[in-house]
Amino acid sequence: MKKVNFIEEAITSEKEIREIVGAPHEFIIKKAISIMDEHCRQFISKSPLCFLSTSDAEGNCDVSPRGDGPGAIKVLNPHQLVIPDRLGNRRVDSMLNIVSNPHIGLIFLIPGIEEVLRINGRAYITQNKEILNEMIWENQVPSLGIGVDIEECFFHCPRALKTSNIWHPEKWDKNVDIPSMKEIFYDHLKINGVEIKE
């Protein structure tokens, strides 16, 4: 299929979107709260996986999965939490975005639960030793953390996770056949002109 010019027929206003989609019920608007109440804090304490969405000052976006044991993300109080930064590939895309644009979005998941918790706020890179020393994992203290000032929290409906059957292994496609991640990695390096010596 040839490249599509999305700009030609793009919807460019809220009015156009609302004419097609309609308006949300009042309850949907008012379910968003500005603090992490007991329900939010409990959900975060049980969540081993969250997705961190950031963008830089020019609007270039990134979403990064953050997996750890349940409770690894530390809720400091109803208004703040800290995500430990575990040593990885050193790309630090999320942190580089945060230093130029603090606005972030988070989605927390719990295996087997089809609702997710969404949190929006402002993030800052922290070296606070008192906090980071409480986030030890495999005998290592994270050298950095992402501190978040909470602006909005709400639980999202289960439709996406329900229809994807993500928590139902018996419904997964047993015939998925994709190359190994090593093969994909090398092929992507070649696209960027990196010569791979076998």
Q: If DSSP codes are grouped into helix, strand and coil, which group holds residue 9?
A: coil
CA 117, CA 133: separation in Å to the nearest integer? 26
pLDDT tens track for 90-140: 889 999 999 999 999 999 999 999 999 999 999 999 999 999 999 988 888
CA 51, CA 66: separation in Å to the nearest integer? 6
Whether 56 has a pLDDT exceeding 90, the answer reads: yes
Q: Which residues contact 97 (CB under 8 A, 6 or more apart)?
A: 54, 55, 56, 60, 62
CATH for 31-168 (2.30.110.10, 1.20.210.10, 3.90.100.10, 2.40.50.140): 2.30.110.10
Q: Which residues contact 53 (CB under 8 A, 6 or more apart)?
A: 61, 62, 63, 64, 104, 105, 106, 107
> Residue 76 has what pLDDT?
97
pLDDT tens track for 1-41: 899 999 999 999 999 999 999 999 999 999 999 999 999 99
Each domain of the chain, given as residue ranges in start order, spans: 31-168
> Residue 53 has what pLDDT?
98
> Residue 151 has what pLDDT?
98
Whether 195 has a pLDDT exceeding 90, the answer reads: no
Contact 120, 105 (CB under 8 A): yes
